[in-house]
């Protein structure tokens, strides 16, 4: 039986979870599935094992305890990972060049065992190699692939976005990225923006985000069902996602809060809409995106017409919630994916060009605004156009889905080709 190891699954984020679920669902539906087994290295292995029904362990470089702890426990966790990083580099060199397997410490044995049993190691999208993420997170992704290279495993970068690179850490991150890209066997990109960083790649193909291929047919939570029922034809339900981290590249917290609050206020007042904010991040780290959403609602002064979905929902149920809205405004990447594939007229507030590229795939690029250019007046021009043409944009997105879904499925075709070659 062939084993596929999915690495660096950051399952505190619904987007990353939906990628793993979409991959596994598609692969398990294929005729070859009886000869396949799967495993995953994940931010939260217990949750991953339950949600994906696979063997799961920690990242090679595990940041979870460092993030969740404080004080001395955090220092101890950081020191423990630091010593492991040094030893792991020696371990990788010995394994690669001398074919010598040094002992593995007990707290990493389960992770290394998953690599041992893997036939292919896959790093799926998101956007992992970029300065939008911290240099520490990029380093974790780099080490995940370094161990695979050391063990001479077949490797694949799967439906990724590569870049952008900027700031004081751009060159270390770009060097790590280049090293990984030039040593993997197959690279697929989910949009064309990262092609310029892929010179010297062995096998490269532009595909599409794998979640575009996922099916969504989950029952709505009771609260959302009631909210939807309460919205008449004149009171549309407008879905929203915000980003509690990446706005910092463009605004300070107060600026972002005030812009979004003004947008909320205008949508409620002029269009008599009800707004539902859909969190895409678990509340495990300081509440995720919920605290900032709450500030925006209070600042808008329209607390009676704007709601935040408080329940921790699975990615598929979250997609069903977005599918139930009449118009959707996405900032988080995979929320935009959900809106587009479900045929909900979608507006993108794009913190990175990948979101614009996704909108272009569906023929609705005009309904995207770059976050750096975000203000209430510019946004409401787009909102007014979409709100008054819901049927048109729903039709355009539905018509585009078949082709985009086919591109998305190509990721798994290339993965299986690599597995069986």
The token pair that represents 392 in the structure block: 């048109």
The token pair that represents 176 in the structure block: 């790590």
Q: What are 256-293's pLDDT values in tens digits? A: 999 999 999 999 999 999 999 999 887 666 678 899 99
Q: Does 288 share its domain with 347?
A: yes
Average pLDDT over residues 79-88: 96
Decide if 95 is inside a domain. Answer: yes
231 pLDDT more than 90: no
CA atoms within 13 A on the CB side of 154: 17
Decide if 323 is inside a domain. Answer: yes
Average pLDDT over residues 394-414: 97
Q: What are 313-345's pLDDT values in tens digits? A: 889 899 999 999 999 999 999 999 999 999 999
At which of 162, 182, 206 does a domain end?
Answer: 206
Decide if 39 is inside a domain. Answer: yes
Q: Does 115 share its domain with 230?
A: no
Q: Does 76 share its domain with 169?
A: yes
183 pLDDT more than 90: yes
Decide if 116 is inside a domain. Answer: yes
Q: Spell out the alpha helix ranges (H) of 53-192.
A: 64-68, 71-98, 106-117, 135-150, 170-183
Decide if 421 is inside a domain. Answer: no
At which of 206, 233, 268 does a domain end?
Answer: 206
How far apart CA 138 and CA 30 sit, in angstroms, is 33
Q: Does 125 share its domain with 244?
A: no
Decide if 415 is inside a domain. Answer: no
Full domain range(s) for residue 333: 222-400
Decide if 319 is inside a domain. Answer: yes
CATH number at residue 395: 3.40.50.2000
Q: Spell out the alpha helix ranges (H) of 151-276.
A: 170-183, 222-230, 253-271
Q: Does 126 share its domain with 202?
A: yes
How far apart CA 210 and CA 45 sit, in angstroms, is 22
Asked whether 104 and 95 are in contact (CB, 8 A), the reply is no
421 pLDDT more than 90: no
Share of the chain above pLDDT 70, in %: 98
- Nearest C-alpha neighbor of 147 from the set 113, 171, 177, 174: 113
Average pLDDT over residues 203-224: 88
Q: Does 39 share its domain with 92?
A: yes
CATH number at residue 182: 3.40.50
Q: Does 202 share its domain with 228?
A: no
Decide if 406 is inside a domain. Answer: no
Q: Residue 118: what pLDDT?
A: 98
> What's the distance, Cα to Cα, between the start and end of the chain in Å?
15
Q: Does 312 share its domain with 338?
A: yes
Query: Taking the CB of residue 260, how many other CB atoms lie within 10 A of it?
Result: 28
Q: What are 26-47's pLDDT values in tens digits? A: 999 986 778 999 999 999 999 9
Mean pLDDT of the chain: 93
User: Would the pTM of this model clear 0.85, i.e. be above it?
Assistant: yes
How far apart CA 140 and CA 64 sit, in angstroms, is 11
Average pLDDT over residues 1-25: 94
354 pLDDT more than 80: yes
217 pLDDT more than 80: no
Indicate the pLDDT class of residue 228, thresholds 50, 70 and 90: confident
232 pLDDT more than 70: no
Q: Does 164 share its domain with 227?
A: no
Higher pLDDT, 217 or 124: 124
Share of the chain above pLDDT 90, in %: 83
What is the residue-wise DSSP string for 308-343?
Answer: E--S---HHHHHHHHHTSSEEEE-SHHHHHHHHHTT
Q: Does 140 share its domain with 281?
A: no
417 pLDDT more than 80: yes
Q: Does 72 share its domain with 14?
A: yes
At which of 206, 241, 271 does a domain end?
Answer: 206
Higher pLDDT, 288 or 241: 241
Total structural domains in the chain? 2
Q: Does 48 share its domain with 173?
A: yes
Q: Residue 222: what pLDDT?
A: 81
Indicate the pLDDT class of residue 406, thresholds 50, 70 and 90: very high
């Amino acid at each position: 039986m062939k084993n596929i190891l999915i690495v660096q699954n950051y399952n505190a984020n619904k987007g990353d979870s939906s990628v793993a679920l979409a991959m596994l669902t598609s692969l398990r539906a294929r005729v070859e599935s009886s000869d396949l087994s799967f495993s995953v290295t994940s931010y939260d292995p217990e949750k991953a094992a339950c949600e994906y029904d696979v063997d799961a362990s920690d990242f090679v470089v595990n940041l979870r305890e460092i993030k969740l702890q404080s004080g001395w426990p955090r220092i101890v966790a950081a020191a423990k990972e630091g010593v492991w990083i040094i030893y792991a580099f020696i371990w990788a060199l010995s394994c690669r060049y001398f074919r010598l397997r040094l002992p593995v410490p007990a707290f990493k044995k389960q992770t290394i065992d998953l690599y041992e049993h893997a036939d292919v190691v896959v790093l799926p999208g998101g956007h992992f190699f970029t300065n939008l993420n911290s240099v520490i997170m990029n380093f974790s992704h780099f080490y995940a692939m370094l161990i695979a290279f050391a063990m001479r495993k077949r490797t694949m970068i799967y439906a990724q976005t590569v870049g952008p690179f900027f700031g004081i850490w751009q060159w270390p991150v770009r060097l790590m990225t280049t090293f990984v890209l030039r040593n993997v066997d197959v690279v697929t990109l989910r949009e064309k923006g990262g092609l310029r960083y892929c010179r010297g790649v062995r096998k490269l193909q532009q595909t599409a985000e794998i979640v575009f291929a996922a099916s969504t047919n989950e029952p709505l939570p009771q609260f959302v069902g009631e909210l939807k029922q309460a919205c008449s034809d004149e009171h549309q339900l407008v879905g929203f996602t915000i980003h509690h981290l990446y706005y910092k590249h463009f605004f300070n917290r107060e600026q972002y809060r005030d812009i979004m609050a003004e947008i909320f206020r205008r949508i409620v007042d002029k269009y008599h809409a009800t707004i539902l904010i859909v969190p895409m991040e678990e509340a495990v780290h300081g509440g995720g995106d919920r605290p900032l959403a709450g500030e925006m609602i209070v600042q808008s002064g329209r607390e009676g017409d704007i709601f935040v979905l408080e329940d921790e929902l699975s990615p598929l149920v979250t997609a069903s919630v977005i599918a139930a809205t009449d118009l959707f405004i996405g900032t988080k990447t995979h929320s935009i994916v959900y809106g587009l594939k479900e045929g909900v007229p979608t507006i993108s507030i794009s913190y990175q060009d990948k979101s614009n590229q996704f909108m272009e795939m569906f023929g609705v690029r005009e309904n995207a605004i770059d976050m750096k250019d975000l203000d209430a007046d510019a946004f409401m021009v787009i909102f007014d156009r979409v709100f008054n043409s819901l049927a048109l944009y729903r039709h355009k997105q539905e018509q585009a889905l078949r082709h985009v879904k086919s591109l998305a499925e190509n990721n798994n075709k290339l993965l299986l080709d690599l597995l069986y070659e």
